[in-house]
Chains A and B, each alone.
Chain A
Amino acid sequence: MDDNLASASLKRTRMRAGKTVSVEATSPKKKNNNNDKKKKKQNQTEKKDDQNLLKKTIKSANSVQTENDASHKIQELEQQQNTTQELSATDSDSDSDYQVFSEDEVSEDYESLRQSEDGESESSGDEVHGSYDDLNNDNDAGHEDQSDGSESHQGVEESDSSEDEVAPRNTIGDVPLEWYQDEKHIGYDISGKKITKKERQDKLASFLASVDDSKNWRKIYDEYNDEEVELTKEETKIIRRLLKGKAPHSDFDPYADYVDWFKYEDSLHPLSNAPEPKRRFIPSKWESKKVLRYVRAIRKGLIKFDEPKEEEPRFYLMWGDDSSTAEKANRLSYIPAPKSKLPGHEESYNPSLEYIPTQEELNSYQLMYDEDRPKFIPKRFTSFRSIPSYENAVKESFERCMDLYLCPRVRKKRINIDPETLKPKLPSRKDLKPYPATCYLEYKGHKGAVMSISTEASGQWIASGSTDGTVRIWEVESGRCLRVWEIGEPVHCVAWNPSPELPVLAASAGQDVVLLNTGFGNEERKRVGKLLQVETHTASDDSDNMASIVSWLQDDKLGGIRLRHFKTVTSVDWHRKGDYLSTVMPADILFSVYLIFTVFVYSFLSMDHGRFSYF
């Protein structure tokens, strides 16, 4: 055993392993192709006796092919055969496959090739195997066959039928050879005896033997049967042909003339002997009918062909002579749509700076309601080219269209005037002169402040009520005091009955409202006098519920009626017609927090009944 040599070979196998892995990685398809080829070739082989051997050789050839330069290798082998050069075994820096071939024994080379194939199937663990292989070549062979199984499985299976004819020496069948790795035998022969393993030759010895033997390159190791096989010349020829892609046997003609074995004319029994039907050679009736129908339809113009119509001029002088088309259309007046508003400075692409809202204003827009927010926010672009397309162009156009056909149109007069002209012309103050600038009349007589005055319906008289407890009637023009009533309490309010027939004066003083007969007119005086007198006793009968609020008393001293309320009366007023009287008095503050005015309305009179009624 030469350790040196062993390590060298180990190195080589490693190298190859790495290489083939890369090959496999790049071209996995190629291998498949090779497999197919292999199948074909195997089918074509007709020699059965050396079937087993041939298979192996083919395998090896395949593996050679996977190395990518198979033909080169064969040539190399030939050269080697011719020259039988001596090469140094220690030439370790060889990296090309040819040199490897020339270095090693053919058988070993075959081994290494197989190993490289092995490397293809299992990439990572290869190095370990490699070292192991070198130590025990036998084991290696078995192991390698097994790993190869996956690849050459089909080939093995297919060849089974042919294998039956020439029985191999070993009968273990298709089991992984590594099962026998550690055994001393490689299997069993046909009679069931163990076939012992051959003594393994020393590497150096085998190498020397290979150098001596000129036929060595033809020898192949068959690990299944554990023997060396020498290829015959015919076999090498076959391999060479296979490598060239030809049929293995030279006498095989791939382009032989086609012989038609199934000729109808000559055969005694044709497939059908029926005569050709008539319909096959006379024109169809239905078809002709259909054609006729189409022809008629075309003639009638029912079927029109899509021929491009000649373009007639679509446009013409529509408004040729305007005067001729001047007849009045019999329809409603057309109201032209208002034109859209013309853009102002702020819509410019480059407006003055003052048109652009500041950031604060922009922020304030965000807080606004949608309808208040300005529709258009001015922007500024410093050059013409930087203007983007306007994103609302289509939308605005659409809105305009909607306005055009859906907005009611009305002619409206637009007033374009200064609003100041709408104001009525008022005479200036100086034009109104002379208006009274000095005091003209004074009505003297009251000793306290006058709380209220009231004018009579005719305008001739004024009644006044004062805090000194008197009610006075004055003549407007002269200032003469006509009558005075001493009521006793400060008078808050006086009111004339608006009706001219009933010259009655109502005055409120403290809790009382006094109805006074002024005594104007002749008939009226009597009637009023009657009215104001009759009522006293019946009034209290009339309503008990109101008695607590108001009581009716006759006041003879004043010549009228005194209506006594339970609170101070602040105001008295008459109905426009003079039939009703209302008084206002603030309600008790104790009862409610608010100042509520209770209003009593008294029906002053109805002439028929001649008395007051109230509600």
Chain B
Amino acid sequence: MPKHYRPAGKKKEGNAARYSTRSQALKLLQVNTKLFRKLCIYKGIFPREPKKKFKGNHHTYYHLKDVAFLRHDPILEELRAKSTYLKKVTKAKAKKNRELADSLLKRQPEIKLDRLVIERYPHFIDAIRDLDDPLTMVHLFAALPATDRMKIEVKRVHNCRKLSHEWQAYIARTHKLRKVFISVKGIYYQAEIEGQKITWLTPHGLQQVLPDDDVVYDVLLTFLEFYETLLAFVNFKLYHSINVKYPPILDPKLEASAAELYALSRYLDANSRNSDQVEVTQLEESELRLSQLQHQLPSNKAGALMQLVKGATDENEEDEDTKECKDFFKNMKFFLSREVPRESLLFVIPAFGGIVSWEGEGAPFNEADQSITHQMVDRPTQGHIYLSREYVQPQWVFDCINARIILPTEAYLLGRVPPPHLSPFIDNEEEGYVPDYAETIKRLKAATKNEILPMPGAGVEDLDDPQNLLAEGYISRTEAIEAAERKQKMMTLEKQYHDELKMELQVTQSSTSNTNKQSSGVDMEAREESLPDIQQIANDTANMSKVLMSRKKRGLYEAMKKGQEKKKAHVDLLKERKKKIDEGKKSKKN
């Protein structure tokens, strides 16, 4: 008799009635695995974990409700129709009827996914919450080469590029970007929209590697199809929220010169200016101001007008953070040299209120502009140097943004090895290890908060170590304060510890013999003697309570302990390495 025998006529019960394995689901839906995969991806259906896996551990289980959900969706019929239609095409091709095949391909039915988008994300906030993966994927495909073999079409790559630029333009325009991190894998951005933190990864702007094996491009492309639709609708909504017509019409010249992002931001500026103007006239503000605006219009300075109008309308809806980001690079003018990765900086700098230009066609201003304050360079030497501006490496921008202070540029100057670039997503205290540079930045922040102006030029003698160089000069004061604080804290802690020890000792002594309380001198001696004893007692009690835990809890406790130990081991390793490096440096100096 099989293990789960069910007599004939008796209904299934429990998990077996509520869940079905993957193959059962396939049979139920009358689809093949490919179609099932597509359906699942479009509809966002995922396997679930039944409490009891009635068919064994190696099966994938879907909830029967989910399967029914797939079964009653019209998309199933549409997909089936499409696959039949594609069979016609293959047939025509097999008969070498090229003409028919082409015309069939041209007229193939289009599957629209907007219904699925609204079904999966009934609220805008849901869509925003789930935007991490779509953004990452779209940004990745925007950088991929279109290949026939992988069925990556040129059209889709272009669409991805377009969508990613639209998204970036919105983020930059509304100053929603919060954190940026350059990693080996690419550049991570974190924006905050409606209180949701959205993190996405863009690959470095280089030729991407398309692995042949172990990647099924069909899966990726199916996901991409849904993501493209989702992102387009999200973009529509976002553009709508700032009164801009959605499919933006771009300046073809700028678009051709690969400065789409700039073209988009210009479009956004222009459009929102118009709408703002309408608002202003509707609001009937003071005549004086309006005349001012009119006066400024022909001068074609998008920024000035916008600031004026926006100042009145937007202030209430902008939160503190956005305001800070908006004015972060205020009054700074950046120029990007040829070798600097343009895309990322063209996005990041305007997002934090800076004005940026680049070397190439369609740039708003050229290198000779005297008002440029910073020039981004990423080369060992610079031929012609303008004295009016600072030549810094691009990392400076990212570090400034993450630290939210304008860092001194000394360490990032032309030709120097920049200080380490730290992840803004990590809580150093929680991690248990604080890198040196994080400490330095923290001090700098404290210094700016206390309005202690850094003293430039100090600490130049330590040129080889940028971290020291940066900090040393103006840390001294804050450090002194901090050190004093720390000392005090340590003192209090120590005192507390001693007190506690004393208390414990007194208790134990009183239990064994009540006569030992005579002088403090004797007491001190006794304490020293009994110190290891106390330790042992503590150990014993810990073990005792561990013995008394239930088995489940003990397992949990041990797992947690293991995790903690692992973390600690990692931190120790880092500390050890750091120590070695320091020693090596010292020995080199000597």
A316-B46 CB under 8 A given contacts A331-B69, A350-B421, A419-B560: no
Q: Is the CB of A387 within 8 A of B246?
A: no
User: Restricting to A308-352, which residues have a CB under 8 Å from any CB of B?
Assistant: 313-319, 322, 325-326, 329, 331-332, 334-337, 339-340, 342-345, 347-352
Q: Is the CB of B423 within 8 A of A334?
A: no
Would you call A304 an interface residue if the criterion is a C-beta within 8 Å of the partner chain's C-beta atoms?
yes
Q: Is the CB of B184 within 8 A of A349?
A: yes
Would you call A433 an interface residue if the criterion is a C-beta within 8 Å of the partner chain's C-beta atoms?
yes
* Chain B CB within 10 A, most for which of A351, A389, A392, A410: A389
User: Restricting to B406-444, which residues have a CB under 8 Å from any CB of A?
Assistant: 417-418, 420-423, 425-426, 431, 435-437
User: Restricting to B127-148, which residues have a CB under 8 Å from any CB of A?
Assistant: 127, 129-130, 132-133, 136-137, 140, 144
User: Restricting to A154-192, which residues have a CB under 8 Å from any CB of B?
Assistant: none
Would you call B386 an interface residue if the criterion is a C-beta within 8 Å of the partner chain's C-beta atoms?
no
Would you call A267 an interface residue if the criterion is a C-beta within 8 Å of the partner chain's C-beta atoms?
no
Q: Is the CB of A306 within 8 A of B556?
A: no
Question: A326–B578 Cα gap in the complex (Å)?
Answer: 55
A306-B107 CB under 8 A given contacts A340-B132, A394-B209, A397-B136: yes
Partner pick for B48 among A331, A388, A409, CB 8 A cutoff: A409
Would you call B219 an interface residue if the criterion is a C-beta within 8 Å of the partner chain's C-beta atoms?
yes
Question: A340–B134 Cα gap in the complex (Å)?
Answer: 12
In the assembled complex, which residues on chain A have CB atoms less than 8 Å from the CB atom of B578? 352-354
- B214 CB to nearest chain A CB (Å): 7
Question: A337–B61 Cα gap in the complex (Å)?
Answer: 17
User: Restricting to A370-394, which residues have a CB under 8 Å from any CB of B?
Assistant: 378-379, 381-385, 387-394
Would you call B203 an interface residue if the criterion is a C-beta within 8 Å of the partner chain's C-beta atoms?
yes
User: Restricting to B97-144, which residues have a CB under 8 Å from any CB of A?
Assistant: 103, 106-107, 114, 117-125, 127, 129-130, 132-133, 136-137, 140, 144
Would you call B388 an interface residue if the criterion is a C-beta within 8 Å of the partner chain's C-beta atoms?
no
Would you call A415 an interface residue if the criterion is a C-beta within 8 Å of the partner chain's C-beta atoms?
yes
Would you call A398 an interface residue if the criterion is a C-beta within 8 Å of the partner chain's C-beta atoms?
yes
Q: Is the CB of B236 within 8 A of A409?
A: no
- B 270-308 binary contact with A (CB < 8 Å = 1; else 0): 000000000000000000000000000000000000000
User: Restricting to A385-419, which residues have a CB under 8 Å from any CB of B?
Assistant: 385, 387-398, 400-402, 404-410, 415, 419
Question: A48–B274 Cα gap in the complex (Å)?
Answer: 101
Q: Is the CB of A348 within 8 A of B41?
A: no
Q: What residue in chain B is nearest A308 (Cβ atoms)?
A: B106
Q: Is the CB of B233 within 8 A of A332?
A: no
In the assembled complex, which residues on chain A have CB atoms less than 8 Å from the CB atom of B437? 352
Q: Is the CB of B340 within 8 A of A384?
A: yes
Question: A382–B125 Cα gap in the complex (Å)?
Answer: 40
Q: Is the CB of B215 within 8 A of A344?
A: no
Q: Is the CB of B223 within 8 A of A404?
A: yes
- B 297-322 binary contact with A (CB < 8 Å = 1; else 0): 00000000000000000000000000
Q: Is the CB of A350 within 8 A of B420?
A: yes
Would you call B183 an interface residue if the criterion is a C-beta within 8 Å of the partner chain's C-beta atoms?
yes
Q: Is the CB of A426 within 8 A of B541?
A: yes
A430-B44 CB under 8 A given contacts A344-B425, A351-B420, A395-B214: no
Partner pick for A408 among B47, B133, B548, CB 8 A cutoff: B47
A426-B46 CB under 8 A given contacts A383-B378, A394-B209: no
Interface of A: prevailing SS: loop
A317-B236 CB under 8 A given contacts A329-B122, A347-B185: yes
In the assembled complex, which residues on chain B have CB atoms less than 8 Å from the CB atom of A600? none
Q: What residue in chain B is nearest A345 (Cβ atoms)?
A: B423
Would you call B373 an interface residue if the criterion is a C-beta within 8 Å of the partner chain's C-beta atoms?
no
Q: Is the CB of A419 within 8 A of B206?
A: no
Q: Is the CB of B237 within 8 A of A410?
A: no
Would you call A566 an interface residue if the criterion is a C-beta within 8 Å of the partner chain's C-beta atoms?
no
In the assembled complex, which residues on chain B have CB atoms less than 8 Å from the CB atom of A392? 185
Question: A334–B580 Cα gap in the complex (Å)?
Answer: 50
- B536 CB to nearest chain A CB (Å): 13
Would you call B60 an interface residue if the criterion is a C-beta within 8 Å of the partner chain's C-beta atoms?
yes
Q: What residue in chain B is nearest A341 (Cβ atoms)?
A: B425
In the assembled complex, which residues on chain B have CB atoms less than 8 Å from the CB atom of A405? 37, 40-41, 45-46, 219, 223
A423-B208 CB under 8 A given contacts A401-B219, A408-B47: no
Would you call B561 an interface residue if the criterion is a C-beta within 8 Å of the partner chain's C-beta atoms?
yes
In the assembled complex, which residues on chain B have CB atoms less than 8 Å from the CB atom of A340? 132-133
Would you call A282 an interface residue if the criterion is a C-beta within 8 Å of the partner chain's C-beta atoms?
no
Q: Is the CB of B549 within 8 A of A423?
A: yes
Would you call A355 an interface residue if the criterion is a C-beta within 8 Å of the partner chain's C-beta atoms?
yes
Question: A339–B188 Cα gap in the complex (Å)?
Answer: 14
Would you call A358 an interface residue if the criterion is a C-beta within 8 Å of the partner chain's C-beta atoms?
yes
Q: Is the CB of B423 within 8 A of A344?
A: yes
Q: What residue in chain B is nearest A386 (Cβ atoms)?
A: B378
Q: Is the CB of A406 within 8 A of B232?
A: no
Would you call A274 an interface residue if the criterion is a C-beta within 8 Å of the partner chain's C-beta atoms?
no
Q: Is the CB of B114 within 8 A of A318?
A: yes
A394-B211 CB under 8 A given contacts A322-B123, A422-B553: yes
Tell me the count of chain A residues lying within 8 A, CB to CB, of chain B.
74
Question: A210–B139 Cα gap in the complex (Å)?
Answer: 96
Partner pick for A384 among B182, B423, B425, CB 8 A cutoff: B182
* Chain B CB within 10 A, most for which of A334, A396, A422: A422
Q: Is the CB of A401 within 8 A of B223?
A: yes
- B434 CB to nearest chain A CB (Å): 10
In the assembled complex, which residues on chain A have CB atoms less than 8 Å from the CB atom of B331? none
Question: A423–B561 Cα gap in the complex (Å)?
Answer: 12
In the assembled complex, which residues on chain B have CB atoms less than 8 Å from the CB atom of A313? 247
Partner pick for A325 among B66, B123, B220, B580, CB 8 A cutoff: B123
Would you call B535 an interface residue if the criterion is a C-beta within 8 Å of the partner chain's C-beta atoms?
no
- B 551-572 binary contact with A (CB < 8 Å = 1; else 0): 0010011001100100000000
Q: Is the CB of B215 within 8 A of A395?
A: yes
Would you call B339 an interface residue if the criterion is a C-beta within 8 Å of the partner chain's C-beta atoms?
yes
In the assembled complex, which residues on chain B have CB atoms less than 8 Å from the CB atom of A352? 420, 422, 435-437, 578
In the assembled complex, which residues on chain A have CB atoms less than 8 Å from the CB atom of B564? 419
Q: Is the CB of B423 within 8 A of A325?
A: no
Would you call A424 an interface residue if the criterion is a C-beta within 8 Å of the partner chain's C-beta atoms?
yes
Q: Is the CB of B421 within 8 A of A354?
A: no
In the assembled complex, which residues on chain A have CB atoms less than 8 Å from the CB atom of B561? 419
- B578 CB to nearest chain A CB (Å): 4
Partner pick for B183 among A343, A391, A408, CB 8 A cutoff: A343
In the assembled complex, which residues on chain B have CB atoms less than 8 Å from the CB atom of A425? 545
Q: Is the CB of B186 within 8 A of A393?
A: yes
Partner pick for A353 among B66, B507, B581, CB 8 A cutoff: B581
In the assembled complex, which residues on chain B have CB atoms less than 8 Å from the CB atom of A325? 118, 122-123
User: Restricting to B465-513, which residues have a CB under 8 Å from any CB of A?
Assistant: 507, 511
Question: A304–B103 Cα gap in the complex (Å)?
Answer: 10
Q: Is the CB of A334 within 8 A of B206?
A: no
Question: A394–B216 Cα gap in the complex (Å)?
Answer: 10
Would you call B544 an interface residue if the criterion is a C-beta within 8 Å of the partner chain's C-beta atoms?
yes
A304-B107 CB under 8 A given contacts A343-B185, A398-B219, A408-B49: yes
- A551 CB to nearest chain B CB (Å): 47
A394-B210 CB under 8 A given contacts A315-B233, A353-B581: yes
Q: Is the CB of A426 within 8 A of B545?
A: yes
Q: Is the CB of B378 within 8 A of A332?
A: no
In the assembled complex, which residues on chain B have CB atoms less than 8 Å from the CB atom of A378? 184
Q: Is the CB of A393 within 8 A of B184?
A: no
A-B contact pairs, 22 of them (CB 8 A): A313-B247, A318-B237, A332-B69, A339-B132, A345-B435, A348-B181, A348-B184, A352-B420, A354-B575, A355-B574, A385-B340, A391-B211, A393-B208, A394-B215, A398-B215, A398-B219, A406-B47, A406-B60, A407-B46, A419-B564, A424-B548, A433-B511
Q: Which residues of A contact B (CB under 8 A)?
A: 304, 306, 313-319, 322, 325-326, 329, 331-332, 334-337, 339-340, 342-345, 347-355, 358, 378-379, 381-385, 387-398, 400-402, 404-410, 415, 419, 422-426, 428, 430, 433
Identify 9 new A-B residue pairs, CB closer than 8 A, beyond the known A317-B240, A422-B560: A319-B123, A342-B188, A343-B425, A351-B421, A385-B378, A394-B209, A396-B185, A405-B41, A419-B560
Ranked 6 nearest A-B pairs via Cβ: A342-B425, A389-B206, A319-B124, A419-B560, A354-B578, A423-B545
